[in-house]
A and B are shown apart, each in its own frame.
Chain A
Amino acid sequence: SAVISQKPSRDICQRGTSLTIQCQVDSQVTMMFWYRQQPGQSLTLIATANQGSEATYESGFVIDKFPISRPNLTFSTLTVSNMSPEDSSIYLCSVGQPIMNTEAFFGQGTRLTVV
C-alpha cells in the first residue's frame, strides 16, 4: 500500500490567482495521477504525471491551465492557474503501479473554493 499526503487540505482563493497542490507519497511509485471532483459529480482524470517528462493530459485539460511537475518518484504538484469559480472542486492525487492486481491509492484531496 501507499500513504499519500496532500497539501493544502482546503483553500479559499480569489479569482485570477493560482494555487499549487502538493502530493507526497511514502514510497516510490511509477504512476501518479491527478483527478478533479466537481461538486456533486464523479471523479475525472486530469492528467498522468510522468517522472522526468511532461505530463499527459486528458481531453479537456491543458497544460497552461493545470501545469504539473513530477521531479521524482515520490512527489508531484498540480497548479490550478488563473482560477475562476468554475474551478471550485476537490482535487485528488492518486498513485498506482502498472502491474496487474494493484489498485490505486488516493490522497485525502484538496477542497478548493474560488470566490
Chain B
Amino acid sequence: AQSVTQLDSHVSVSEGTPVLLRCNYSSSYSPSLFWYVQHPNKGLQLLLKYTSAATLVKGINGFEAEFKKSETSFHLTKPSAHMSDAAEYFCVVTPVRAGGTSYGKLTFGQGTILTVHP
C-alpha cells in the first residue's frame, strides 16, 4: 500500500521569498516520487522526479526536492517565488518493484495551492 500526505492545503508567499511545500509518503516498495503542477484550466505538468538516483533532485523553473528516506519526506522548495508559480502542486508516489519496474499507477497527495503575492 502507498499513500501521500501533503501537509499544507494552502501556502502563501511574497514574490522573491522562498517556497516550501511539504510532502510525506509511505510505500510498501521502494518508491518513485514526483511533483506535478497544475495551473488553472491547464493540464498536469511534471516538475521533477526522484527514482533512487541522487537524493537532491532539480526540476524545471528553479524547483528542487530532497528525498529523505529516514523522514519519509520529499519536500519541494524554490529559493525565490515568482508570480507565475501560483498554481496547485501535487506530490505523487508510485511503487517500484524489485527489478526496477514500476507499476505506473500513481497515488496523488491532496494538493497544495500556492499563492504568490506581489
Contact = CB atoms under 8 A, between A and B. Distances in A.
A48 interface: yes
A42 B108 contact: yes
A107 B108 contact: no
Q: Which 4 A-B pairs have the closest CB atoms?
A: A96-B104, A100-B100, A106-B44, A31-B104
* SS of B interface (majority): loop
Say what secondary structure dominates the interface of chain A: loop
Contact of A33 (B44, B46, B105): B105
13 contacts: A41-B110, A42-B108, A43-B108, A44-B108, A98-B103, A100-B96, A102-B104, A103-B34, A104-B94, A104-B104, A104-B106, A106-B44, A109-B43
A96 B34 CA distance: 13
A109 B42 CA distance: 8
A100 B101 contact: yes
Interface residues of A, number: 24
Interface residues of B, number: 24
Interface of A: 30-31, 33, 41-45, 48, 92, 94, 96-104, 106-109
Interface string B63-98: 000000000000000000000000000100010100
B103 A107 contact: no
Nearest to B49: A103
B102 A45 contact: no
Contact of B46 (A30, A97, A103, A108): A103
Given A42-B111, A48-B105, A106-B44, A99 B100 contact: yes
B106 to A, nearest CB: 6
B27 interface: no
A105 B66 CA distance: 22
Nearest to B32: A100
Contacts of A101: 32, 49, 51
